[in-house]
Amino acid sequence: MKLFVGLGNPGAKYAGNRHNIGFMALDQIAADHGFSPWKAKFQGQLSEGSIGREKSILLKPQTFMNNSGQSVGEALRFFKLTPADVMVFHDELDLAPGKCRVKQGGGHAGHNGLRSIHAHIGADYGRVRLGVGHPGHKDAVAGYVLRDFPKADQGWLDDLLRGIADGAPSLALGDSGKFMNAVALRVAPPRSSTGTEGGKPAKRTQSSPQAAPEKAAATKAATPPAPEAPLAEDARSPMQKLLDKFK
C-alpha cells in the first residue's frame, strides 16, 4: 500500500494558492483514477482506491501546513506503513514553475510542512517537488506562496497536474523515471519529425520579387569577363605593308 500525501492549507480561502499545489495534485489523481469520495479521517481528508495495481491512500492534512505531520503520523501508524511507503507532494520554491522532481529522503529545506512531517515520522519518506518559482527575496516568500496562481500560469499548471495523474501508476510502483517521463509528455510534448513546428508547417524562406533583379545583377557582376580573341597574324610582306600605308 502507498500513502500519497498532498500538502496545503484547508478552506476555500487558500484553495488556489501556490502553497496548495500538493492538494491540487491529489485532487487530479483522485479524479483520474476513480478514487472514493473524500472523507474526514486522521485530521485530514482521505480517499481510497487503486493506482494501477497498487492499493493506495490519498491524504490531504487539514491541520494547516505547519502541523501536517500530525495527520501523516496518524495515518502511517493506523495502516502500519513505513516512511518509505509515503510520497509527499509539495510546492518547491527552488524549482522553476512547472518543473517536477522526485526525491527520496533528505532535509526539509525550510519548508514548514516537511519540517512537521520530519518531526513525526522522520526523514526517510519520498517527495514530489512541484516548482512554483521564487519571488526573488526571502522576505517575500510568505506572501508569494499564499497568493493564488495567476491566470497566466493556468496552462502549465493544468499540464503538470495531468502529467502527475498520468504517471501516478509508475510512481506507486517506485519507478520515478517513468513517472517523470509521463509528466514531461504533458508539460513539454515532443516536436513532430515531419517538418512541423508546434503542429504548424515549418516556415520556408522565400525571396521577395524586388530581390530577384538585385540577385541577377549581383550574379552578373560576379561573372568574370570572357577573354578577348587573339588577333589574326599579319601575313603581308614588308614591301606590301609599306605600299599599303600610301594608299
Rg (CA), the chain: 36
Q: How far apart are CA 99 and CA 80, in angstroms?
A: 32
Report d(CA 180, CA 167) in Å as an integer. Answer: 7
Answer for the pair 129, 96: CB distance below 8 angstroms, yes or no. Answer: no
Active site residue 19: yes
Asked if 79 and 59 count as a contact pair (C-beta separation under 8 A), the reply is no
Strands 54-61, 2-6: pairing is parallel
Is residue 70 a contact partner of residue 87, using CB atoms and an 8 Å limit? no
Residue 83 · residue 45 · CB < 8 Å: no
Q: Mapping DSSP to helix (H, G, I), strand (E, B) and coil, where does residue 198 land?
A: coil
The C-alpha cell at 63 is: 491541520
Per DSSP, the residues of 16-74 read: TBGGGHHHHHHHHHHHHTTPPPPEEETTEEEEEEEETTEEEEEEEE-S-GGGHHHHHHH
Taking alpha carbons only, the member of 132, 127, 188 closest to residue 163 is 188
Catalytic residue among 19, 90, 111, 118: 19
**Catalytic center residues:** 19
